[in-house]
Structure 1
Amino acid sequence: MNVRRLIPATAAAGAVTLGLVTLSACSTSSAADGKSSDGRLKVVASFYPMQYLAEQIGGDHVTVSTLTRPGVEPHDLELGPRQTAELNEAGYILYLKGVQPAVDKAIAQSEAKNKVDAATLTKLEHHGTEGGHSHEGEEAGHDEHEGEAGADPHIWLDPVKYAEVAKGVGTSLQKADPDHAADYKKNTDALLTKLNGLNSAYQQGLKTAATKTFITTHSAFGYLAERYGLDQEGIAGIDPESEPSPARIKQLQTIAKKDKVTTVFFETLASDKTAKTLAEDTGLKTDVLDPLEGITDKSRGRDYLQVMESNLAALQKALGAK
């Protein structure tokens, strides 16, 4: 039998190769089933922080794929036919509304039975580009990346809020796949223990900080700053690609001198040009503070916990914590 004749032209046009289409057509699991050929629940995560939760809590009972590949800046992700097909075939989708507009739209249209928005599992708050402080000269226009009514979506950078989300994910997985509910609960409890330990490490590690102010390219650390009594001063807004105004740059120079800031932080998935220019103009050091929107070979750690520990070490050094 000629396999090519079994494949509709519309399906072939949306695939990278005929082989991929053939593999999809011959899959032993159906889109309605939401299970892989070995019976595991198909989970699709929107980007790394959601992927990590799904993998940690799902364990051996799930197969996890992510819409945002390593090294891709998640805010600007556009979905292709393959990713849209993944969403329709998923048994469980975990995402965070407000981070990726294209993903939010595609998930709303997906046929998947279980769709979990992490933003509904904890309370989102509003942070200005500087961790809750409003300053003259800020750039506006980030609403498309900030979720409902301008709320800050970066909840995973606060271990306490991330733990709240983890609890909700565990409960929802138990309902989606009740045959393995006991294991999901066990895995959730194990993850909560790790996140509680991380929270304690931040509390202890930052309580002796000589200065509370840190400057960062991407204003992603509002929740972290609020949790541990710090002041985030962002060069850009919540959208990492936004450009600061000249007035904002001048203001940051003043803040750096006044608050005895030592370091300007930049990240791995966005341009470091503005951060390094500001550091040179003000005689400050530079270092990496990772917003953990993706893990690459440039990340200071192999997973969420390791990178968060590296972030803590970087903050301790910059803030003079002993």
Structure 2
Amino acid sequence: MPSRRTLAVTLAVIPLLALAGCGSGDGTADSGQAGETATPTASRFTIVTGAYPVEWLAQRIGGDHVNVVNLTKPGAEPHDLELSPQDVATVADADLVIYEQGLQPALDDAVTSEQGGPQGAKVLEIGKSADLTAPQGTSIGAGHSADDGHDHSADDGHGADDGHDHGDLDPHFWLDPIRYESVARAIYNQLGNLDQVNKQTFATNLSELSRELTTLDGDFSAGLRQCQNTSIVTAHAAFGYLAGRYGLTQVAITGLAPEGEPDPARIAEVTDYVRAHNVTTIYTEPLINPAVAKTVAQETGAATAVLDPIESLTDSSAGQDYLQIMRANLETLQKGQGCS
């Protein structure tokens, strides 16, 4: 019969053994440390993004295994993002930050100070995967006409006061489904590194997403193949990748910065272009004051229609996701450009 001392030691050890067994199913305890491989019992890890298109990709690929935080609230302009101390803390505490360098300076600064910069272990910078280029479109100023035989593929039709150089890269990659899919693959690779256990789930989600984006690309190609007019006059230079992919020419009233104010000379140039090229529709945007675009329309007799750059969800897109908004954009372009 065991002594009282032996019995007491035995009873004390039993709870410790029970606690030791409360790790993951493979015998590894869940450390909960950011950037370490997740286990079957690990909780969802947190991904921080700065814009809706990136948030949507991360959520579609990560599914139930991730908690995605978008720092830009619905209806807000992502270019103008400012971070509160709480937002900066969220960036610091994230298991992964996915961002596009140059799109949101405030987020760039937070990544550098809180996550160790673009090469940090918990950071995915997606600009390279998106294959960003200089803004695409037609320059109609500086003594050139649209039909002068010069290659204007790197020009975006900036107004004089938009504060951006022509050397800036166009950040709106998500309006080209092919570039968007490339970024989705980069996100998948990063999530797979973070969570080996659920990598197959991420692969399945990516496969479905890739199929949907391929179908979307095919629908745009077919829907915009035969249009009466291939010049799209837009409020700002957000649609260069879309135009370049599907055989259209973007003429932007302002440049990459949506808040840019075109000078009277620029407005006159665009007005002359609209008349000379029989443009029948001027495209406004949900987050931009349509006054200037409507002025051009009134001067030329053109109609206006809303083309959404999908920089943020808005009241008009409530309840819709990226795919639905893109298909609405396709219908808008087909009508505005006279496509059959």
Shared fold (TM-score, shorter chain, > 0.5): yes
The question of whether the paired residues in 2 share the 8 Å contact of 1:114 and 1:176 is answered with: no
Higher percent of residues as helix: 1
Tell me the TM-score normalized by structure 2. Answer: 0.80
Tell me which of 134, 139, 147 is aligned to 2:160. 139
Tell me whether 1:83 sits opposite 2:92 in the alignment: no
Tell me which of 106, 114, 129 is aligned to 2:122. 114
Structure 1 segment 50-199 matched on structure 2, within 5 A: 50-111=54-115, 113-127=121-135, 130=138, 132=153, 134=155, 138-139=159-160, 142-143=163-164, 149-199=167-217
- Equivalence for 2:307: 289
Tell me whether 1:260 sits opposite 2:268 in the alignment: no
Please list every run of 5 or more consecutive structure 2 residues that lacks an aligned counterpart in the other structure. 1-30, 139-151
C-alpha distance 88-30 of structure 1, shift in aligned 2 (>3 A): farther
The range that moved more, 221-230 or 171-180, is 171-180
Structure 1 segment 5-84 matched on structure 2, within 5 A: 32=34, 39-84=43-88
Tell me which of 220, 224, 246 is aligned to 1:206. 224
> What is the DSSP-based 3-state SS (H/G/I as helix, E as strand, rest coil) of the residue aligned with 1:195?
helix
Hey, what's the Cα distance between the residues in 2 that align with 1:194 and 1:281?
40
Tell me whether 1:227 sits opposite 2:245 in the alignment: yes
Hey, what's the Cα distance between the residues in 1 that align with 2:263 and 2:158?
6
C-alpha distance 71-164 of structure 1, shift in aligned 2 (>3 A): same
The question of whether the paired residues in 1 share the 8 Å contact of 2:161 and 2:263 is answered with: no
The question of whether the paired residues in 2 share the 8 Å contact of 1:137 and 1:245 is answered with: no
Tell me which of 309, 312, 322 is aligned to 2:327. 309
The question of whether the paired residues in 2 share the 8 Å contact of 1:249 and 1:278 is answered with: yes
Tell me which of 261, 274, 280 is aligned to 2:298. 280
Pairwise CA distance, 1:132: 3.1
Q: Deviations over 1:137-185 (max 9, x none)?
A: 84265448x9xx5111111110010011111111111012212111111
Pairwise CA distance, 1:258: 1.8
- Equivalence for 1:10: none
Pairwise CA distance, 1:125: 0.8
The range that moved more, 242-251 or 291-300, is 291-300
Pairwise CA distance, 1:280: 1.2
- Equivalence for 2:11: none
> What is the DSSP-based 3-state SS (H/G/I as helix, E as strand, rest coil) of the residue aligned with 1:235?
strand
> What is the DSSP-based 3-state SS (H/G/I as helix, E as strand, rest coil) of the residue aligned with 2:254?
coil
Tell me the TM-score normalized by structure 1. Answer: 0.84
The question of whether the paired residues in 1 share the 8 Å contact of 2:137 and 2:249 is answered with: no
Pairwise CA distance, 1:136: 8.2
Q: Deviations over 1:254-278 (max 9, x none)?
A: 2112221111111111211111111
| TM-align CA RMSD | 2.4
Tell me which of 285, 289, 292 is aligned to 1:271. 289
For residue 285 of structure 2, what is the amino acid of its counterpart?
A: E
Percent identity between matched residues is: 38
Please list every run of 5 or more consecutive structure 1 residues that lacks an aligned counterpart in the other structure. 1-28
Hey, what's the Cα distance between the residues in 2 that align with 1:289 and 1:136?
18
C-alpha distance 301-248 of structure 1, shift in aligned 2 (>3 A): farther
The question of whether the paired residues in 2 share the 8 Å contact of 1:129 and 1:237 is answered with: no
Hey, what's the Cα distance between the residues in 1 that align with 2:310 and 2:59?
16
Hey, what's the Cα distance between the residues in 2 that align with 1:129 and 1:287?
19
The question of whether the paired residues in 2 share the 8 Å contact of 1:301 and 1:307 is answered with: no
The range that moved more, 96-105 or 48-57, is 96-105
For residue 135 of structure 2, what is the amino acid of its counterpart?
A: H
Hey, what's the Cα distance between the residues in 2 that align with 1:70 and 1:300?
9
For residue 272 of structure 2, what is the amino acid of its counterpart?
A: T
Q: Deviations over 1:207-261 (max 9, x none)?
A: 0111100111011000000000100110110100001121111111121122211
C-alpha distance 163-38 of structure 1, shift in aligned 2 (>3 A): same
> What is the DSSP-based 3-state SS (H/G/I as helix, E as strand, rest coil) of the residue aligned with 2:200?
helix
